[in-house]
Structure 1
């Protein structure tokens, strides 16, 4: 697998976490489990088709140009052959600045970009991305497109962004009521705003951010045992860590590292 990330130009650094590309030869392609990461992503599939598995013998073919909203549970994808993807990873709070639909309506599914930006502009963007001769040109095309659609007034209000910033700074380990100084009225208001603007609840996002921190430690071998990783990321105990881990990955921490279906997610988390 050849996975690379690229930083956006300065005008978009507050809303785009990174651009990334992935290439996998057909002979190395296999079914992979995709994990929640708290971010919304725009994908362009430049290689062969990719299936998302929806049941034992059921699947859908993913759109060639799509947005995948917030995901709250793992899912499997299976390439039909050669994988060649170009994608944009947005910060948890930023995609609402580009679209008029509630971000919650994008959760746990693929949405063709034509439904979000209009069929003609989306088709033009897709064709430009397809025919660009290298990644740097694709990045410029995507940046020009997004800058034209970036709203002058930010859709995300201060309390949502500051809460997410605090979550990231504490690696998701600080409860929401502590961040809001136990003001229940603010918490209810925040939950409504999160669902509309982020696509998930503050509690779900906090759990995903904490899991990311733990996964990164596991993948980079920064701690000697799962128990120490659990405590370093302020889980109550290893049982609490395992419960949250299973919720978002579908497997146990012990089984994760040796699971070939986790190779792609492991690559994303380790490099992030």
Structure 2
């Protein structure tokens, strides 16, 4: 990586972790701009290890506080607003929407819209600086050891509902009692309701289809393809999930926020280049 150049890479998980992990990603910015970054919900919790200067996260009162060097980011229903404080280097596990329950050992609802300190749990974990492939391999080895020693499993009913939501299939007809039972299972294993997850997936599909996301026309076309009825409906979700308009986001976001949107939201296998 050339001096001052940002670097974002994604790696596929091994077969044993694939039911639980969507992708392993790494990011480095030797000379970040220190500007505010807006990260939208994507339906997946993450485990993040920071080898560089910590990010500062904006709290509900508008003040910024430093994130811990290792954290678990639960499901998000609102934007994460943060800014770098120095040279950045991250390695992270992005779980499947329902893939982190056994790792966390807690109901996922306890982590929704929260970043949990994992510093003690990752004590002694030292991925090699400046080596994305080595960082991903180290994180995978650490996590797979936990999986082997634990009794990790996927709830097939929840997974089927998630897959239906991701494919934008019609909602299944259920009795009121069955709907409440599903919502409880979702709160435990996913952290948000089935309806909220569908809303997040629909918003994410906007980025799948936005070919030139600096143009209003492109955003509108992408929103219609993603399943929105009209521009005002999509605009409400931009405010809800990013805290700004589509045009403002495209103009202002750089570095990690843009890297995640341009890579992670795209359909297909992980990008490793």
Structure 1 residue 253 corresponds to structure 2 residue 240? no
SS at match of 1:19: strand
Distance 1:68 1:225 in 2: 31
Alignment of 1:81-230 (within 5 A): 81-114=86-119, 119=120, 122-125=122-125, 128-129=126-127, 131=128, 134-150=131-147, 151-154=150-153, 156-170=154-168, 174=169, 178-219=170-211, 225-230=218-223
Superimposed CA distance per residue, residues 132-186 of structure 1 (whole angstroms, 9 cap, x where no aligned partner): 67233332322222222224351x421110000111122xxx4xxx432243322
Q: Structure 1 segments of 4 or more deviating over 6 A?
A: none
User: Secondary structure of the residue that 1:93 maps to in structure 2?
Assistant: coil
RMSD: 2.4
Distance (Å, rounded) in 2 between the aligned partners of 1:133 and 1:263:
17
Alignment match, 2:3: none
2:8 maps to 1:3:
yes
Aligned length: 256
- Work out the CA distance in 2 between the residues paired with 1:90 and 1:167: 17
Q: Distance in 1 between matches of 2:19 and 2:63?
A: 39
Shift, 1:250, TM fit: 0.9
Which of 32, 39, 43 is equivalent to 2:37?
32
Higher helix share: 1
Whether the 8 Å contact between 1:214 and 1:230 is mirrored in structure 2 is yes
CA deviation after TM superposition for structure 1 residue 38, in Å: 0.9
Task: Tell me the alpha carbon deviations over residues 183-234 of structure 1, each in whole angstroms, 9 at most, x when there is no partner.
Answer: 3322211111111111111111111111111122125569954443333222
What is the deviation of 1:29? 3.8
- TM-score calculated relative to the size of structure 2: 0.84
Distance 1:234 1:27, change over 3 A: closer
The equivalent residue for 2:270 is none
Q: CA deviation at 1:74?
A: 0.6
The corresponding residue for 2:237 is 244
Deviation at 1:81, TM superposition (A): 1.1
- Measured at CA, do residues 219 and 110 of structure 1 come closer, stay the same or move farther in structure 2, by a change above 3 Å? farther
Question: Mind listing any 5+ residue stretches in structure 2 that lack a counterpart?
Answer: 1-5, 265-273
Alpha-carbon distance in structure 1 between the residues aligned to 2:60 and 2:155: 39
